Structure 1
Amino acid sequence: MENNHSLLGNNMVFSVRTFNNINQIGLKELGNHFQIDGDKADNPDAYILRSQNLHGEVFPENLKAIARAGAGTNNIPVDAATAQGIVVFNTPGANANAVKEAVLASILLSARDYIGATAWANTLSGDDVPKQIEAGKKAFAGTEITGKTLGVIGLGAIGARIANDARRLGMNVLGYDPYVSIETAWNISSHVKRVGDIKDIFAAADYITIHVPLTPDTKDTFNKESFDLMQKGVTILNFARGELVNHADLFEAIEAGVVRNYITDFGTEDLLNKPHITVFPHLGGSTEEAELNCAIMAGQTLRRFMETGEIVNSVNFPTVVQNLSAPYRITLINKNIPNMVAKISTAVSHLNINIDNIINKSKGDYAYTLLDLDESDAEKVANLVANFEADENIVRVRVIKK
């Protein structure tokens, strides 16, 4: 149990440890109440990272938040962080345009085999190179993407952009996402046909791109069963997570001529130097603009949480936003059990403190509470905090003074 008095009026400074190369402009979003300690911080308040693998790490006792400058959080042991009351944030959509462009470029490259053609051209020599090129270029005659069908699995920030722009390029687009948000749905072109069964994508598409998180349900989305539904000559694009594709089944599908090309941003040794497989070195979101956008969003999200207790863009806790107008705010991370709100309210009333506002939301086994107190007596607030800290069902307590 840890009690952090975030008294910003008293020049409270939060220590932040950074991993990887975080854009400095993004770090400036943190403002004056944050000290960037790089890898020198032994017991920081927060982490900001990109691809650093935290599995196996022992989190310091003071750590309250981890901000991932990117969408995926597979490099973070989210369950372990949650159990310690550490809020994990990501930056959904910040690199969406970069990944969209990478996918569309890959579709165009594969349709005409530009990569293979370039590799072949660079093997030529002699004064008659132009003649050799004219004689050999027919081996690389490709197809146009206009009129072809693209299946998009996952219509989030990335998938929706790909669907819309592929349609503008003349492709017929099918989209599958049973969990698409209302906000995203409004941004998807009416020309994108939504299907209710992923099998419709497998059966009809010339190109299939997937943009979903890796979960037990999505692992091996592409397997023997799904490949068996596909028409011959399909191109699979995977810029989401490598484990979405079963490699053994993929190799069989390539051998059978079902998969003409597999293009992925997630290389493993078994994929390298194989025909019909193109491996990029995880370049999808690696643009100057995307890295800046991710760093800025991570900085803004982290600052908001540390200074106000509000949560947005968290992968392990619900979105909780509440305007702070009272003298004190207490934030609580507690186990999601019955009657916790009643217990919290009773603890406040026993000390004759008025509640100005309270909001409690749960996600899975844990819940998050913002408790705003109409009380200026610091001693009474400290006693309340001590009572909360003594409760075995409350994992972390913070105090924020307006």
Structure 2
Amino acid sequence: MFRIHCKNAISEEGLQSLLPNFTLTEAEEEAEGILVRSADMHEEKLGAATLAVARAGAGVNNIPLERFAEEGVVVFNTPGANANSVKELVICEMLLAARNVIPAVHWVAAHKDAPDIAKEAEKGKKQFVGTEICGKKLGVIGLGAIGAEVANAAVALGMEVYGYDPYLSVNGAWRISKEARHATSLEELCKQCDYITIHVPLTDKNPGMIGEKEIAAMKEGVVFLNFSRDKLVDERAMEAALTSGKVRLYVTDFANPLSVKLENAIVTPHLGASTEEAEDHCAVMAVKELMDYLDNGNIRNSVNYPDCDMGVPTSAQRIALLHRNVPNMIGQISAELAKRNINIDKMTNKSRGAYAYTLMDLESCLPAEDEAALRAIPGVIRFRAVTGG
């Protein structure tokens, strides 16, 4: 029986997908798996039992990935589970920006007590004349699950779409409408587009990736939308661009002390994934990732260890080793098994940066008293007998 602890309220639909050999626990220190949404885990000291953390969402800035990797704790996220929800909000707010809907609503509210509001509205509406988005150019920075959905929706609405993503995979490219155009550089995209939206993860290498240089390359009067992370944009540079009129409107889903005071900005309280459907999809996906790892040793959508999938175990025993990505690790593991006359039926080894993962199906079980020999191999972070034994 595996125990799962929820650090935040998790969608009931997700929890109902737990298999009979999984149970919820209030005692975090005894849980093998943890489900989290927004709780900050950077100061968290995990219990020795914890094997994995699954974030019911895409962003993992609330989780110390490197430290958990060092502790042999696999961290999962749920890419694409909330893509439709974010896409719809991006399109919604782009339309709000194009048609000046928000200032128009505020104007009506300010004149609600006027004796002849209908007549005044007919006169007042002239100041809120907007534009249509059909025929306008949209630049999409980052063409992952969300960026691809935004690009395709914009194409369907008649926009001319330019996409920029130097890390776009072949599978990712297949998701994008053939009508979308490929920008070879961020500068090229900035020069072309009337609207620009960013959909890339925040890393330690890209804070402020939209700064003075990128803004200077943009068209006069551009609308910039940020539904990824606030730190991707140098908001001081954005403030100056809003003041000068270089950027007509900054639309961000991240309220912070600076963004909420910006003139000509639409700021929402991180609503991108705030739909019942997105919360359900993220929770179900996170639960399935946890169960597959704890039950079968498979890793899918990890953000600190490599993905590795060998399906359901069919041999006598499956063992899993989280270890450093160093030479001769497989040789050392195999040598210890050979000493005990244990043959390897199937094996997968994958690496990701400084870390690697080895999954082995054995033709006979490794005696429990011999597991210490594998744990003692230099560079092994965690050993686990997934099945058998």
Q: Same fold (TM over 0.5)?
A: yes
Instruction: Determine if contact 1:359/1:370 at 8 Å carries over to the other structure.
Output: yes
Residue 363 of structure 1, aligned match among 352, 360, 372: 352
Letter in 2 for 1:239: F
Alignment match, 1:6:
none
After superposition, residues 135-146 of structure 1 pair within 5 angstroms as: 135-146=123-134
- Most deviating of 80-89 and 362-371: 362-371
Matched, 1:221 2:216: no
Is structure 2 residue 273 aligned with structure 1 residue 270? no
From 386, 391, 396, the counterpart of 2:372? 386
The match for 1:247 is 235
- The Cα shift of 1:30 comes to 2.1
What is the aligned length?
386
| 2:64 partner amino acid | P
Amino acid at match of 1:78: L
Shift of 1:218: 2.3
Match of 1:9 in 2: none
- TM-fit CA distance, 1:231: 1.3
Please tell me whether the aligned partners of residues 28 and 299 of structure 1 are also in contact (alpha carbons under 8 angstroms). Answer: no
1:207-255 alpha-carbon deviations (Å, 9 max, x no partner): 0000001123321121111111111100000000110110111111111
Tell me how far apart the structure 2 counterparts of residues 260 and 224 of structure 1 sit (CA, whole Å): 15
| 1:90 equivalenced with 2:77 (yes/no) | yes
Q: 2:331 aligns with which of 335, 342, 346?
A: 342
What is the CA-CA distance between 1:28 and the residue it aligns to? Answer: 2.0
- Write out per-residue CA displacement over residues 89-131 of structure 1, whole angstroms, 9 at most, x where no aligned residue: 0000000000000000011000011011001101111321111
Alignment of 1:26-65 (within 5 A): 26-38=14-26, 40-65=27-52
RMSD (CA atoms): 1.1
TM-score normalised to structure 2 length: 0.97
Whether the aligned pair in 1 keeps the contact of 2:318 and 2:362 (CA below 8 Å) is yes
SS at match of 1:362: strand
User: 1:164-183 counterparts in 2 under 5 A?
Assistant: 164-183=152-171
For 1:344 and 1:216, locate their aligned partners in 2 and report how far apart those are by CA, in whole Å: 34
Aligned to 1:4: none
Q: Tell me, what secondary structure is at the counterpart of 2:17? A: helix
Whichever residue aligns with residue 327 of structure 2, its letter is P
Percent of matched pairs sharing the same residue:
43
1:197 corresponds to 2:185: yes
What CA deviation, in whole Å up to 9, does each residue of 1:123-171 have, x standing for no partner? 1113211111111111111111111100000011111111111011111
Superposed structure 1 runs of 4+ greater than 6 Å apart: none
Q: Is the 8 A contact 1:15 1:41 kept in 2?
A: no
Contact 1:212 1:218 in 2 (8 A): no
CA distance in 1 between counterparts of 2:384 and 2:18 reads 19
1:209 maps to which of 188, 194, 197: 197
- 2:243–2:263: 8 Å Cα contact kept in structure 1? no
Counterpart check, 1:119 vs 2:91: no
Structure 2: where are the runs of 5+ without partners?
none
Q: How far is 1:43 from its partner?
A: 2.6
**Quick one: which of 225, 238, 243 aligns to 1:237?**
225
Instruction: Output the CA distance in 2 between the equivalents of 1:140 and 1:202.
Output: 26
* Structure possessing the higher relative contact order (Cα contacts under 8 Å, 6 or more residues apart): 1
Instruction: Write the letter of the residue equivalent to 1:283.
Output: L
Name the CA shift for 1:61/1:351 in 2 (closer, same or farther; >3 Å).
Answer: same
- Tell me which residue corresponds to 1:329: 318
Shift in Å at residue 42 of structure 1? Answer: 2.5
* Contact 2:28 2:47 (C-alpha < 8 Å) held by counterparts: no
Describe the SS at the equivalent of 2:29: coil
Counterpart in the other structure of 1:260? 248
Q: Does 1:151 align with 2:111?
A: no
